[in-house]
Structure 1
Amino acid sequence: MINLNGLDAARLSLWLHGGGSDGVAGFIGAHAEFRGGNDDNYQPSQYKFDTAINSILTLLGNFLLAPIDAHLRVLGLAIGAHVIILPPGQISMLPLAAAFLPPAPEIERPAEPFGNRWTVSLAPCFEALIAARARNKAWIAGGAKTRLVAALDPVVIRPDPHTGTPQHSRSLCLTAAEDALFRLRDCFSDEPLVLFGVDATAEALLAALPGADMLHFSGHAAFDLVNPRKSHLATAGADPNDVLSVARLVELDDGGRLRLRLAVLSGCETTLSGFNMVEDEFIGLPAAFVQAGAAAVLASHWPVREDAAFLLTRRFYEVLNLAPGPGGEPIFGPAAAAREAARWLRQLTVGELLDLFETVPQPAGADVPAGCAWLDLSEPRGAAHIRPTGGQADPLDPGAPRKLPPQMKTRDPVSPKPTPPRRDPVLGTSGTRLVLQPPADGAPLDLDAKPYANPVHWAAFSLTGV
């Protein structure tokens, strides 16, 4: 039994809905404003959401995950051990693995996310966890194949709410880079089946999934807070009811039941869940996929910028090794790969990005600051070299300790002179090209800048299952 002093329903409601004397920005309100933002209020809503996420991750760490961390260490678990959390009720809506932990000098650990100190996955209930473990065993017994079905950028057609004119969904510009990645991978049992654009219909997916071991979905998704069973992946077509919804997944009969070892849902807010206070378990797309026959699901809590989502999932697949090791556990399974991918993206520098991908000429007439670099994310370098990041653990050794670097022990002196605001190292994307920009006019690229250090980029993804 762990004593969670100060954590009660009122405080949890504050984190979710905001208010109170502390001025906490609630996750749900900030998320809704960010998701519904238009060109006029995008920056303010993004700033509010960034602030809410950073505040909530700190509070989650202080009141919930720090006591759990201390208890795990008292139990003698090795740092990096796999921890499965069954979040009750509304807590399931929050990115628990990303909660900030204070330093633990007694074990030479810096302040870091809970999911950096431990390998974390979630489960909606014990029954779902048991089912996920059984699915993994059945997958191993069936030959541990890795047949991939990928749905990339489904073309969704919906009427404009004001004019009724059919409107196509915004095209995801990095899907070509994802497609190139899948076709370069040598770990799949067969050539991946890629359903692209208009071909990525619910009917095509439901027909292909029973014969698949892995699913990758990159497109739009929607969460319905009032009726979570209506939450869905937006598949191609003009019929708003012909989507891959929670209800449709859980109602699959034995003939169409999934046998997935892994599903990666790289759409907006695919992890968000409703909750059933009676059964105390969450309802959402990850839980629905587990119930429908998936062993593990990687999904996001909020809309993630395309380049960040692509890079995180790219690293995830790069280190993932589902082959069974001693005892039947994967050599480097989905939870370990998700942990490493988040750590890697958080620490990724501009210099490392330049090492990873080919640079291409700037298009004629491009209106960008001087000194920008254009990287083609569909063209990785032949033997990309990831420069070491100081005292960080080996990416493939989740249990290795990390020493506190000197800069974490003392505060840097505050400069008395005001400095101009630094630009975001990432200017944006154009097709499959990522545009990096210098911190100020006339300056070179800052090779040590970390474009994705903000939690809004790396903290959204959670792993449900095993």
Structure 2
Amino acid sequence: GGPGELGGPGELGGPGELGGPGELGGRIDAARGALAEVIERIRRRVGYERFLALPDLDDIGAAVRPGVPLAYLVPTGGGCLVLLAYRRPDGEPAAEDLWVPELSTAAIDRLVIGGPTAERSFLWQQITGDPGFAAVLAGVLGEVGPRLAAPLAARLRELDATGVVLVPGGRLASLPLHAAPYGRDGETACLLDDFDVHYAPSAWVHADALSRAARLSAAPATLTGIADPTGDLRYARAELEDVAALFTGRGAPAPRTHYGERATKDALTGGLPATYVHLACHGRYTVTDPLESHLLLAGDVPLTLRELLDGRGFEGARLVVASACQTAVSELLFLPDEAVGLPAGFLRAGAAAVIGTLWPVDDVSTALLMTRFYQGHLDERLPVDRALRRAQRWLATVTAGELAEHFAAQASPPVDSGAGRRLPAELAAAGAIRFGFDDPDHRPFAEPYHWAPFVLMGA
């Protein structure tokens, strides 16, 4: 209804016009009734049946698999509260809390939005892709790791956990918590070294994602993909061609892939439903209007978060891979306790899981990681979380010598190998030269800046 139905400023009037306690109480009751009616109308919409309902332990337990606890990370004025939900050996749900006093809301704000100027803050550099971001990222993670990741990892090991689902609140959602370093047995480690890591907007959303993933577990692996719709992503086409080759010959329909000016919104939606959707294109997070954050398709046509939240176009997708910049950034300025971003949009649109990125990414390292991820998931039959984790750890440890050999093989594939060249000869040669002149034992993508932006949201 309009403002008058819920009581606008003019209706209640000033202090002298409020009337007696009985009249004011009646107005408050009427406003509560109107609010309850609005909530009930929202709950009649598909997917909003539990809107604003308080979850109980059974609700949260539905999102918790054996060996994979769910960790709510709740910043407060006095510190960070970690609410850990898990299953006991007998299968019953249980919950406990950890307290991290050093990581208050003010401390997190200092790390994320602090700095001598706004342009030097973590958040600003994350969104703009500032060249100095890698150093700022390392500094922030160096503070978060010992304070938050270390005690959480210690408790997860005590529970014999193999994975964890993180539900970060506030501005913690901007950080790759899976990459925050801490000391373990005299070495430096991070959550990704010890556990498969998921992210989730809430327990309810994750429980729904688990249910969808289970329903789709036996579905044929079909692929719809777009690549380089704007014509300026040199490695995106080869990335999708490598991915499509892994889907070929598996007894399912041939991959539906579109490149360059043919990678339109109609081509994408016309290729749905598909169990896998791969989007190798530009992404953009819009600070001033997060619902306009988008993936850019051919003809400079955006696929916005607003559109995703309004539809169910990705129903049936086991996984959406948004292989683009800033596709996992969530709203951090105006809704500090909510997770509103493209991953939540794809989950709302029907997908069971989404892989996105927390900042602008390099197209070479992205193409390498994506190929490795799909090889692990499809050829080795690893779960999505384990395949992504292994691909990230591989990217962090691969040497320049190994990469030089990879690109040299792409530049001159053996005639009798049966494998076509998917990377253009000039790009393959450039890669071979780039890494061939490096120290062969150097790990060019070892810094978290290269492998940490990729996050899995959903099941």
Q: Same fold (TM over 0.5)?
A: yes
CA contact under 8 A between 1:124 and 1:287: conserved in structure 2? yes
2:73 corresponds to 1:14: no
Give the Cα–Cα distance (whole angstroms) in 1 for the partners of residues 110 and 415 of structure 2.
44
1:274-317 per-position Cα deviation (integer Å, ceiling 9, x unaligned): 05987933011111111111111111111111110001111101
Question: SS in structure 2 opposite 1:464?
Answer: strand
1:24 and 1:52 in contact (8 A); partners too: no
1:269 Cα deviation after fit:
0.7
Counterpart Cα distance in 1 of 2:125 and 2:414:
36
Q: What's 1:95 paired with?
A: 176
- Deviation for aligned residue 1:322: 9.3
> 1:117-158: CA deviations, max 9, x gaps?
111010111121011111112213xx4211101110113xxx
Q: Which moved more, 1:443-452 or 1:288-297?
A: 443-452
Which one of the candidate residues 433, 436, 450 is aligned to 1:457? 450
Contact 1:322 1:333 in 2 (8 A): no
Pairing of 1:411-430 with structure 2 (within 5 A): none
| Identity fraction in percent | 29
Match of 1:120 in 2: 197
CA shift in 2, pair 1:221/1:245, >3 Å: same
Residue 206 in 1 paired to residue 269 in 2? yes
For 1:337, which of 380, 383, 387 is the aligned residue?
387
1:146 to 221, 228, 236: 221
Aligned to 2:311: 252
Q: Choose which of 28, 36, 39 in structure 1 pairs with 2:123.
A: 28
Q: Is residue 173–residue 430 contact of structure 1 (8 Å, CA) maintained in 2?
A: no
SS in structure 2 at match of 1:354: helix
Unaligned segments of structure 2, at least 5 residues:
1-96, 420-424
Paired residue secondary structure (1:272): coil
3-state secondary structure, aligned to 1:449: coil
Alignment of 1:280-359 (within 5 A): 280-321=337-378, 331-359=381-409
Q: Does the C-alpha gap of structure 1 residues 357 and 236 become closer, same or farther in structure 2, counting only changes over 3 Å?
A: same
Q: Note if contact 2:240-2:278 (Cα within 8 Å) is conserved in structure 1.
A: no
Tell me: CA distance 1:177–1:103, structure 2 relative to 1, closer, same or farther (3 Å): same
Q: After superposition, give the CA deviation of every residue in 1:203-239 in whole Å (9 maximum; x if it has no partner).
A: 2212322x2110111110110123221111111114x
Q: Secondary structure at the match of 2:271?
A: helix
Per the alignment, residue 395 of structure 1 pairs with none
SS of equivalent residue, structure 2 residue 101: coil
Q: Do 2:228 and 2:237's aligned partners in 1 also have CA atoms closer than 8 Å?
A: no
Residue of structure 2 in register with 1:262 after alignment: 319
Q: Quickly say closer, same or farther: Cα 1:358–1:104, change in 2 above 3 A.
A: same
Give SS of 2:221's match.
coil
Structure 1: tracts of 5 or more residues without a match: 35-44, 156-169, 324-330, 360-374, 385-428
Shift of 1:72: 1.1
Distance in 1 between the 2:349 and 2:113 partners? Answer: 31
d(CA) in 1 for partners of 2:149 and 2:127? Answer: 25
Letter in 2 for 1:244: L
- When residues 380 and 274 of structure 1 are mapped into structure 2, their CA distance, relative to the original with a 3 A threshold, is farther
Distance 1:383 1:10 in 2: 59
Assess, with a 3 A threshold, how the Cα gap between structure 1 residues 76 and 213 changes in structure 2: closer, same or farther.
closer
**Cα distance change, pair 100–202 in 1 and its aligned pair in 2 (3 A):** same
SS of structure 2 residue aligned to 1:286: helix
Is 1:49 the counterpart of 2:130? The answer is no
Structure with higher helix content: 2
SS at match of 1:307: helix
Is the Cα–Cα contact under 8 Å of residues 180 and 190 in structure 2 kept in the other structure?
yes
Distance 1:260 1:437 in 2: 39
Q: Distance in 1 between matches of 2:302 and 2:352?
A: 22
Provide closer, same or farther for how the CA distance between residues 183 and 133 of structure 1 changes in structure 2, counting only shifts above 3 A.
closer
Q: Deviations over 1:439-464 (max 9, x none)?
A: 9xxx9652111111122111110111
What is the distance in 1 between the residues matched to 2:254 and 2:320?
A: 17
2:402 corresponds to which letter in structure 1? Answer: E
Measured after TM superposition, the shift of residue 437 of structure 1 is 5.3
RMSD of Structure 2 on Structure 1 (CA): 3.1
Distance change (3 Å), C-alpha of 1:6 and 1:382:
farther
| Match in the other structure for 1:166 | none
**Which has the bigger relative contact order, CA under 8 A and spacing at least 6?**
1
Q: Sort the Cα spacing of 1:173 and 1:444 in 2 relative to 1 into closer, same or farther, 3 A.
A: closer
For 1:435, the equivalent position in structure 2 comes to 431
CA separation of 1:59/1:230 partners in 2, compared to 1, >3 Å: closer, same or farther?
same
TM-score by length of 1: 0.70
Using a 3 Å threshold, how does the CA distance of structure 1 residues 381 and 333 change in structure 2: closer, same or farther? farther
2:164 aligned to which of 75, 79, 83: 83
CA 1:465–1:382 in structure 2 vs 1: closer, same or farther (change >3 Å)?
farther
CA positional deviation for 1:111? 0.7
Q: Distance in 1 between matches of 2:407 and 2:415?
A: 4
